[in-house]
Amino acid sequence: MRHFGSLTASDAATLFERPPEEFDRDSGRELLSVALGATLYMPGDRPALAADIAKQATAGVTSVVVCLEDAVPDDRVAEAEDIVVATLRDLHAGRPSDLPLLFVRVRTPEQIPALVDRLGPAVALLDGFVLPKFTAAGGIAFLAALDDAERRRADDLRGTRLLAMPVIESGAVLYSETRVDELARLGAVLNRERERVLAVRLGATDLCALYGLRRTADFSIYDVKVVGDLIADVVNVLGRVDGSGFTVTGPVWEYYGHAERLFKPQLRRTPFEEHDEAELRGRLVSRAIDGLIREVQLDRANGLVGKTAIHPSHVAIINAMSVVSAEEYHDALDIAGTARPGGVMASGSGDRMNEIRPHTAWARRTLLRARVFGVAAPDVSFVDLLASSLSR
């Protein structure tokens, strides 16, 4: 797989100073967690699920979660399970070479070995499971179920581990009187399964539901303080870069249509006018995508990597916003390539200070992102990347 793989060679050469690298299931957990990018959720009860997965892969989606939990009505779970099993079997029989990373979001731990048993050899297509409402107490059963499933289908998996993406979305972690203890216990549980945990996801919709809240298109999740404060604490405990942390992904942006707005759009006109893309700005604003763009930037500023997507139109935008700018890349190279321990230097453009010791972890994360999303050419802005991505 490769992000922006649908670009022509000419377009890629124009847009990128360094094009994205290919990656696959064997690329290593650290790189793979960054490469997830926009992870597209699909309801498991779609009759044409196999065709939908193949279609989105062609459109540039590189990670898909097939959902058997909240996206499926309670009375259709058994039907959705049948569809998921049949879909993976069909895809396995066809052996397509361009499938995205595939995960299934289950409801209960018992579903994991049951689905794996039904899949048989087709389990080899499955990269892992998304574990909903993951708590320190309840999460142990999910992780044990993954162990059980691997033992059952060891021959089909051929030594490949089923990866886990736990979702933080419970009251135990949101409520202030239990948060500190719950996060510490979560960290201990996840650390014991470090090689299995690909990323920690945030269930913002369920978290808001605990207080009867739903943000409008005018606000980011960080404006919903009860959830925004939790995100900061999750990153504080589970997102550290000292070797004890995990990749924490950004929560979903719910809007993709023509939402009613009270406040001014959050995209400046100038960058779009300078690149002759004023019409593109209008389309983004009309669909509340300016809010998504702002939230992606806030995600990164707050230590989150990648984002849950519930609509295909969000994928290209999230991934385009993940491309590393030429200035970021060369700053990161300068910092990472400095042999002396500490000190400061001016950036190549002469308008920023690069301080070696405190910026080293940032540089390392930036270079990792550059590998999978590429480095924009010096004269290419996010407007060019958005325009190119959305034209396909």
In DSSP notation, 311-369 reads SHHHHHHHHHTTSBPHHHHHHHHHHHT--SSS-EEE-TTSSSEEEHHHHHHHHHHHHHH
- Write out the two tokens for 316: 């290209």
- Whether the per-residue pLDDT at 70 is higher than 70: the answer is yes
Residue with tokens 């916003």: 321
Residues 221 and 338 in one domain: no
Could you tell me the pLDDT band of residue 388, with boundaries at 50, 70 and 90? confident
Residues 188 and 333 in one domain: no
pLDDT, tens digit (0-9, with 9 covering 90-100), for 271-319: 888 888 888 888 888 888 889 999 999 999 999 999 999 999 899 999 9
Q: Is 16 part of any domain?
A: no
Residues 219 and 137 in one domain: yes
Cα torsion 322, 328, 330, 334: sign: negative
Q: Is 43 part of any domain?
A: yes
List the beta bridge partners of residue 164: 129, 197
Task: Give how far Cα 119 sits from Cα of 122, 207, 332, 366, Å.
Answer: 5, 32, 44, 38
What pLDDT shows up at residue 261?
73
pLDDT, tens digit (0-9, with 9 covering 90-100), for 129-168: 999 999 999 999 999 999 999 998 888 888 889 999 999 9
Residues 123 and 186 in one domain: yes
**CB of 63 within 8 A of CB of 101?**
yes
Residues 159 and 222 in one domain: yes
pLDDT, tens digit (0-9, with 9 covering 90-100), for 1-58: 899 988 889 999 999 999 999 999 889 999 999 999 999 999 999 999 999 999 999 8
How far, in Å, CA of 136 to CA of 131, rounded? 12
- DSSP codes, 252-316: PP---S----SS--SS-HHHHHHTT-HHHHHHHHHTTHHHHHHHHHHHHHTT--SEEESSHHHHH
Q: Cite the beta strand spans of 7-114 per DSSP E.
A: 16-18, 38-43, 63-67, 101-105
**CB of 37 within 8 A of CB of 2?**
no
**CB of 253 within 8 A of CB of 291?**
yes
What pLDDT shows up at residue 343?
80
Q: Is 380 part of any domain?
A: no
How far, in Å, CA of 262 to CA of 270, rounded? 22
Q: Give the torsion through C-alpha atoms of 123, 197, 61, 391, to 10 deg.
A: 180
Instruction: Please count the structural domains in the chain.
Output: 2
Residues 316 and 241 in one domain: yes
- Whether the per-residue pLDDT at 341 is higher than 90: the answer is no
Could you tell me the pLDDT band of residue 320, with boundaries at 50, 70 and 90? very high
3-state secondary structure 196-227: CECCEEECHHHHHHCCCCCCCCCCCHHHCHHH
Q: Is 391 part of any domain?
A: no
Q: Is 262 exposed, middle or buried (0-12, 13-18, 19+ CB in 10 A)?
A: exposed
Residues 318 and 331 in one domain: no
DSSP 20: P
How far, in Å, CA of 38 to CA of 63, rounded? 7
Q: Is 249 part of any domain?
A: yes
User: What mean pLDDT do residues 255-261 have?
Assistant: 77
Give the chain's radius of gyration (CA, Å): 21
- Whether the per-residue pLDDT at 392 is higher than 70: the answer is no
Q: Is 231 part of any domain?
A: yes
User: What mean pLDDT do residues 166-182 have?
Assistant: 98
Residues 343 and 253 in one domain: no
* Polymer length in residues for the chain: 392
Q: Is 17 part of any domain?
A: no
Residues 215 and 336 in one domain: no
Residues 332 and 306 in one domain: no
Model pTM score: 0.93
Q: Which residues contact 54 (CB under 8 A, 6 or more apart)?
A: 91, 96, 99
Q: Which residues contact 263 (CB under 8 A, 6 or more apart)?
A: 218
Q: Residue 222's domain is classified under what CATH number?
A: 3.20.20.60
Q: Is 113 part of any domain?
A: yes
Residues 239 and 261 in one domain: yes
Residues 33 and 173 in one domain: yes
**CB of 128 within 8 A of CB of 165?**
yes
- Write out the two tokens for 167: 């979702």
What percent of the chain stands above pLDDT 70?
Answer: 97
**CB of 201 within 8 A of CB of 165?**
yes
Query: What domain range is 338 assigned to?
Result: 327-373
User: What mean pLDDT do residues 219-239 have?
Assistant: 97
Higher pLDDT, 48 or 260: 48
pLDDT, tens digit (0-9, with 9 covering 90-100), for 81-91: 999 999 999 99
- Whether the per-residue pLDDT at 352 is higher than 90: the answer is no
CA 379 distance to own-chain centroid: 27
